[in-house]
Structure 1
Amino acid sequence: MAVKLRVGIVGCGAGRTHLVEGYTPNSDRFDVLALCDLDPRRLAAVADEFGIGRRTLDFAELLAMDDIDVIDICTPPAVHLEQVLAALAAGKHVVCEKPLVGSLAEIDQIIKAEAKAAGRLMPVFQYRYGNGIAKAKAVIDAGLAGKLYAGTVETFWKRGPEYYAVPWRGKWHTELGGVLMAHAIHPHDMLTYLAGPVARAFGRVDTRVNAIEVEDCVSASLRMADGGLVSLTATLGSADQITRIRLAFEHLTIESDHAPYRPGEADWQIRGRTPETEEKIAATLADWQYVPSRHTTQLRLFHEAITTGAPLPVTTADARKALELVTTIYHSARTGHDEALPIGPDHPLYRSWAP
């Protein structure tokens, strides 16, 4: 029988999703003992729904609970830094929603704190997990793809005034960015998860859909570390909603499912360029075991990492790479130049990409 980790969740909006998709399917691995939220009605509603007795409006009170092993942070982005550092200082393991923080300086601060802490920190990139993307990753990891030629990542979503009626959204100091930071960061992480790191980026951002401070349209051109070329396009003004990743490799082409928020779940199209490659793909996937999507698998792997000492499924280093790409595209959009990664403390936007 698995050792159960005892969890306290702060933020009952995204926190409810974690309960539905992550903790309930993994109830043999986790006990959610406490919830924290600033809204008493939302707190009561979610706690009642899942039968959670301990409820608090005070984050410090949640941290002081000695029988909590894991703090799951599902609050607005602007408070992540403070809460992550406090949770690590309290000796807890930490799960934190994206975006982890609002600058590379802040994530480097967290990396230093984590190195000294008893607990371990897992950023949330749940789009990496699902049966479709797992098959694609297995084929790539088996060495069947060859070098990347070119690819596209499309995040065509729909957000209007009702979405931005939530006070912290659409503002630099609270949401920390727009479609590039808050929405397309997931498909862009899927890209690097499959195709490796980015070496250079040229980007444009604009606010064309909503009356907000942050951007809601993005176009970028990437040179990957292995030389492949990838274009990124994102908007919050689409009439319908899709997420699509298409990657043309030397020996095969992969295309994701188009479901906007679950693009990793359904089977992906994986086409070999020759009959021989098709046979190798089939052999690689012959004894396939189904991989549940999103939080279900990420939190199962988190439990395994914490209880056995295995590597975390997503690390602060992964989150830093995602924020490096965000920073580089924002910087390129202002300079009008192709910009290089990785980024160190001497970069002009290291401490903040906000205007």
Structure 2
Amino acid sequence: MTRKLKVAVVGLGVGRSHILDGYLPNKDRFEVAVLCDRDEARLKACGEEFAIGNLVTEYDALLGMEDIDIIDVCTPPGTHKDLILAALKAGKHVICEKPLVGSLADIDDMLDAESRSTGRVMPIMQYRYKEGVQKARRLIELGIAGKPYLATCETHWHRTSEYYEKPWRGNWEDALGGTLMNHAIHTNDLLFYLLGPVRSLFARIATRVNRIEVEDCASVSVELTCGAIAAVTATTGSIDEVSRIRLCFENVTIESDSRPYCRPGAADWRFTPANDAVAEEIEKALADFTPPPLGFAGQMQDFHRAICNKTPLPVTLADARQSLDFATACYWSAKTYSAVALPIMADHPFYNGWQKAF
């Protein structure tokens, strides 16, 4: 019999999406038992929508609820660290939306806290749970794709001033960063997920689209540890919205669907083989492929399995650290007009964050 884990969802903006797309498809694995939000009207509306009667406005109330297994943090990024550390101290498992925190020092503190807690932390990286991504990863891992040459990674979205009427979205303290941290983070994670870690980069950022503190345009030249080079670009000033990854390998070119948001990774990725023999290898490799549940549903399913079986989490704090390492290097490169080698170490000027430097 499957053990049900009880969840408290905190922050009912994206938290509502977690319920709809993550927990309800896994209702035999999870029970959303408590909702928490300081907006009482939104709290009441979500409680009625999902027939959840336990509604609280104060986060601390969740920490003493012994029957709660998981706290799902969906609040603005600047609040994440304190909420996660409090949950770990209380022995709760944590699921948290991106970006996790705003410095490598913060995530190292979190790794230390996790090592001393019975709770574990899973950052949300739901783009990995798409059919196209999993097919691409299989071809790469089996060696069919061959030597990686070059990649492009585009997150070109459209955001008007109305989007920034929630003031936390446009400032360094609350949002922790701009389009690199809050829009491109998922697409960029797919680049690392498929090609591995970054060795070095050179970045430019600018604020050209809206009157905000943080960057809304970015261009990064990347060298990966595997030897491939990549161009990563992001903006909130694209009228035609695109999220796209294109990977050029020795034996196959892999290209994602270009539609934005959760679309990168969907079933209609293109795999262009070098010749008929490679095409046959691809067909054989994917003949028995079974796609995972999409998006939040797939990640929550694997999280449940990992917690109940005490196996590695599907996405870890180490994965989130890799994304944060990339962002830290980007901001330092843009600030100093210099190439940056990764990983960033504790003696780096931006190890404790970059938010006060811009």
Would you say the 8 A contact 2:256–2:266 is kept in 1?
A: no
CA distance in 1, matches of 2:227, 2:266: 28
Give the match for residue 266 of structure 2: 265
TM-score, length-normalised on structure 1?
0.99
What secondary structure sits across from 1:234 in the alignment?
Answer: strand
Would you say the 8 A contact 2:246–2:256 is kept in 1?
A: yes
CA distance in 2, matches of 1:259, 1:299: 24
Give the match for residue 96 of structure 2: 96
Aligned length: 355
Give the match for residue 333 of structure 1: 334
Summarize deviations over 1:176-211 as a string: whole Å, max 9, x none.
000011110111001000010000000000000000
State how 1:42-61 maps to structure 2 within 5 Å: 42-61=42-61
Runs of 4+ residues deviating >3 angstroms: none
| Aligned sequence identity (%) | 52
State how 1:11-50 maps to structure 2 within 5 Å: 11-50=11-50
Residue type matched to 2:81 in 1?
L
Distance apart, 1:328 and its partner CA: 0.4
Give the match for residue 242 of structure 2: 242
Residue type matched to 1:49 in 2?
E
CA distance in 2, matches of 1:339, 1:147: 25
The alignment status of 1:181 with 2:189, answered yes or no, reads: no
TM-score, length-normalised on structure 2?
0.98
Give the match for residue 2 of structure 2: 2
CA distance in 2, matches of 1:62, 1:92: 10
CA distance in 1, matches of 2:70, 2:27: 14
- Where does the alignment leave 5 or more consecutive residues of structure 1 unmatched? none
Summarize deviations over 1:61-95 as a string: whole Å, max 9, x none.
01111110000000000110000000000000100
What secondary structure sits across from 1:314 in the alignment?
Answer: coil
Would you say the 8 A contact 1:2–1:29 is kept in 2?
A: yes
What is the alpha-carbon root mean square deviation over aligned residues? 0.8
CA distance in 1, matches of 2:265, 2:16: 21
Distance apart, 1:41 and its partner CA: 0.4
Residue type matched to 1:276 in 2?
A
Give the match for residue 312 of structure 1: 313
Residue type matched to 1:339 in 2?
V
Residue type matched to 1:340 in 2?
A
CA distance in 2, matches of 1:134, 1:267: 12
CA distance in 1, matches of 2:178, 2:79: 17
Residue type matched to 2:336 in 1?
T
Would you say the 8 A contact 1:76–1:174 is kept in 2?
A: yes
Distance apart, 1:291 and its partner CA: 2.1
Would you say the 8 A contact 1:265–1:292 is kept in 2?
A: no
CA distance in 1, matches of 2:55, 2:295: 26
Give the match for residue 203 of structure 1: 203
